[in-house]
Amino acid sequence: MDNRQRIDDAYKRKLKRNKVKSVENRFHFFSAGKSRKCKLNPLKIILAIIILVSIVTFLLSPTICHKNSISHTVSRPRFVNRWMWGGSDPRYISNLEMNWDEILRVLKKLPENNKIGGVGLLNFNENEINRWEQFFPTANHSILHLDYAEKNVTWETLYPEWIDEEQEEEIPSCPSLPKLEVPRQRLDLIAVKLPCRNEGNWSRDIARLHLQISAATLAASCKGNYPVHLLFVTKCFPIPNLFTCKDLVAHEGNTWLYKPNMNSLREKLQLPIGSCELALPLGVKEQDYRAKKQREAYATILHSAHVYVCGAIAAAQSIRMAGSTRDFVILVDETISEYHRSGLALAGWKIRTIQRIRNPKAEKDAYNEWNYSKFRLWQLTDYDKIIFIDADLLILRNIDFLFGMPEISATGNNGTLFNSGVMVIEPSNCTFQLLMDHINEIESYNGGDQGYLNEIFTWWHRIPKHMNFLKHFWFGDDDVVKQKKIRLFEEEPPVLYVLHYLGYKPWLCFRDYDCNWNVDILQEFASDVAHKRWWNVHDSMPEKLQEFCLLRSKQKAQLEWDRKEAEKGNYSDRHWGIRIQDRRIKKCIDPPYCSWKGMLKHWGENNWTDDAFPISTPPARTTASFSL
């Protein structure tokens, strides 16, 4: 069975599995009105009986347990009334003081005709519930009960660093979280109090996630033809890609009122709860994803330097070769010359000039000073969906079906984080504003956009790593793994969807071999077959575009310097012995600095800066001269 077949089969298996799953987990029940959810815990059964007796005799309450609870929970009988136990799970408690005036003001923003007849209340304490009931004296109140998540469900178990995507040894599966039962009553408003604990880490919080997912699921299950609003009381913003700011009706202080778009909410709730399973849309095949083509685009960004111009041109070429007809949009700042822009335009990129965004926490002139410019992708509001791609990768197989995925779908990086090299985003001015609003307060682990976006979008969806496959051999890769990767790099027709070129970029090397071999710390990125693959795409480009991939004199000197070092070090791969035939060596694009051999004589002694060799910028190319 070939690899592609295996992947497809894996998705089919997953499809089946998900169907089975949705039938499970139906142990909970719910009763409307003021009754309490009741379950038995085998460990506390004696205590439970005592409590039950005391409840019956002392309170004489007739509505404490719903009758059918017994039949639902035969194996785990438990009569629990959370407040009566006095032992609420601290993970779920929010000590935030309720500001009823604020809530009133926010609710006033509801349209006049939105009568609140049924209110669902989740995670409020008894006093707060009483207040809610006075608030809407004529409404029916449902007190929603949610069993706590198991203690062993942590953020790391929902977002594991690695999962067995190919299902070679095991089928990845997410831990399950207890579910709310849907009340048999119309709900117009679902109000939830969310904890915001642990300061710097509040957005990776199981209880917070659990409460939001549960409320969303409840809202999405309301079938009637009436609007359902969600109200959150919390110090920190709700999950921005589950409850989008487009759906925000009103926000004041700690009160957030949403009117979710039910269709997109339902789609998101179909996804696995974390990156513990792959999240590709069920049943979507490459061929049959056809949506709103005009509102979808591939996008990338070039800021602060033109070295990636050739990469972006080749990336565009590869997308067209893979068969996509979507728009390409490239964000460039003013440092990208007219000449380079004309090359990008010829390759098919629609150019948008942007103002760079400075990372206020970066040092001046640091390598990551302007990386927050990427946030401008969210301002591409003439598109509903964007597949962002880094400019140093090739699309080997059409990934248009990713447009069917919600924000943020991406591959895993390390720890609980996603890699921002390929990601699905949903442009929105207010999401852009959200990103900007927290720029001074949220810290990125690497000072780059990837770290920052991972703090905002902690709830992300995993796509297979074949859709952003890194050209990289880990230190720990054994020979079998290495050979497998090499096969993946060269396989024809391709198995990988996207190949991401790390280390020295192919267009900054000789074409003869991967020059990462000549630098010891870059050898982990060296692969001649991946290198060759890039050059095949290059060679399929019109000559006028290849011109943007020529070498600067300084780069030629650098490459020769590296080669000599490798020779001195007698590197065992012996690439340094290969005679370079790449004709780009002979072409000079930055006269009068053509003598790179002379430059080499003083290599290491002089501080060459890019400014010392300004690249000549010929007049901009026009489309008239050729067509793609």
Binding part of the chain for ligand NAG, among 145-153, 189-197, 331-339, 576-584 by CB under 6 A, reads 145-153
Closest CA to 201 of 415, 368, 408, 372: 415
DSSP count for the chain of H helices, then E strands: 18, 16
Per CB under 6 A, 204 contacts ligand NAG? yes
- Shortest separation between residue 443's beta carbon and ligand NAG, angstroms: 10
- Shortest separation between residue 136's beta carbon and ligand NAG, angstroms: 9
Per CB under 6 A, 185 contacts ligand NAG? yes
Per CB under 6 A, 330 contacts ligand NAG? no
- Shortest separation between residue 550's beta carbon and ligand NAG, angstroms: 20
Pairwise CA distance, residues 202 & 91, whole Å: 11
- Shortest separation between residue 194's beta carbon and ligand NAG, angstroms: 17
Amino acid at the residue 283: G
Cβ atoms of 556 and 509 closer than 8 Å: no
Per CB under 6 A, 443 contacts ligand NAG? no
Per CB under 6 A, 570 contacts ligand NAG? yes
What are the C-alpha distances in Å from 537 to residues 308, 314, 318, 394, 507? Answer: 16, 7, 7, 9, 11
Q: Rank residues 324 and 411 by Cβ distance to ligand NAG and give the closer one.
A: 411
Closest CA to 40 of 70, 6, 83: 70
Q: In the set 75, 138, 325, 355, which binds ligand NAG (CB under 6 A)?
A: 138
Per CB under 6 A, 41 contacts ligand NAG? no
Cβ atoms of 29 and 72 closer than 8 Å: yes
- Ramachandran region of residue 167, left (φ > 0), alpha (ψ -120 to 50) or beta? left
Give how many residues touch ligand NAG by CB under 6 A: 36
Per CB under 6 A, 201 contacts ligand NAG? yes
Per CB under 6 A, 414 contacts ligand NAG? yes
Per CB under 6 A, 373 contacts ligand NAG? no
Closest CA to 621 of 409, 309, 323: 309
Q: In the set 605, 609, 614, 625, which binds ligand NAG (CB under 6 A)?
A: 605
Pairwise CA distance, residues 180 & 144, whole Å: 7
Per CB under 6 A, 611 contacts ligand NAG? no
Q: Rank residues 379 and 616 by Cβ distance to ligand NAG and give the closer one.
A: 379
Consecutive H or E run containing 568: helix 553-568
Per CB under 6 A, 227 contacts ligand NAG? no
Per CB under 6 A, 572 contacts ligand NAG? yes
Q: In the set 51, 66, 78, 175, which binds ligand NAG (CB under 6 A)?
A: 175
Pairwise CA distance, residues 366 & 250, whole Å: 39
CB environment 17-33: b (16+ within 10 A), e (fewer): eeeeeeeeeeebbbbbe
Per CB under 6 A, 311 contacts ligand NAG? no
Close Cβ partners of 510 (under 8 Å, ≥ 6 residues apart): 559, 580, 582, 584, 585
Cβ atoms of 21 and 478 closer than 8 Å: no
Q: Rank residues 200 and 618 by Cβ distance to ligand NAG and give the closer one.
A: 200
Per CB under 6 A, 511 contacts ligand NAG? no
Binding site for ligand NAG (CB under 6 A): 117-118, 138-140, 150, 152-153, 155-157, 175, 185, 200-201, 204, 367-368, 371, 381, 414-417, 429, 445-450, 570, 572, 605-607
